[in-house]
Structure 1
Amino acid sequence: MAKRPDLTGHQKKIVNRYYENRDTISTTKLAEVISSLYLEDDPKKSGRLWKSAETALVNLGVAGPVAASLVAARDVRALAEAAEKIARDGGGAGVRGPKTT
Structure 2
Amino acid sequence: MSSGKNFSRFQQGVIKRYYDNRDSIALQRAQELVTELYLTEGKKREKVWDSLVKNMEKAGVPAAHIAHLREQDKPELVAQLLSEKN
- CA RMSD for the aligned pairs? 1.4
Q: 1 or 2, which has the higher helix percentage? A: 2
Q: Does structure 2 retain, via aligned residues, the 8 Å contact 1:53–1:71?
A: no
1:45 paired with 2:53, answer: no
Q: Work out the CA distance in 2 between the residues paired with 1:19 and 1:9.
A: 16
1:17 paired with 2:17, answer: yes
Unmatched tracts of structure 1, length 5 or more: 88-101
Q: Which has the higher contact order (CA 8 A, sep 6+)?
A: 2
- Matched-pair identity in %: 25
Q: TM-score, normalized by length of structure 2?
A: 0.85
Q: Does structure 1 retain, via aligned residues, the 8 Å contact 2:56–2:66?
A: yes
Unmatched tracts of structure 2, length 5 or more: none
Task: Give, in angstroms, the shift of residue 63 of structure 1.
Answer: 1.3
Q: TM-score, normalized by length of structure 1?
A: 0.74
Q: Which residue of 2 aligns with 1:65?
A: 64
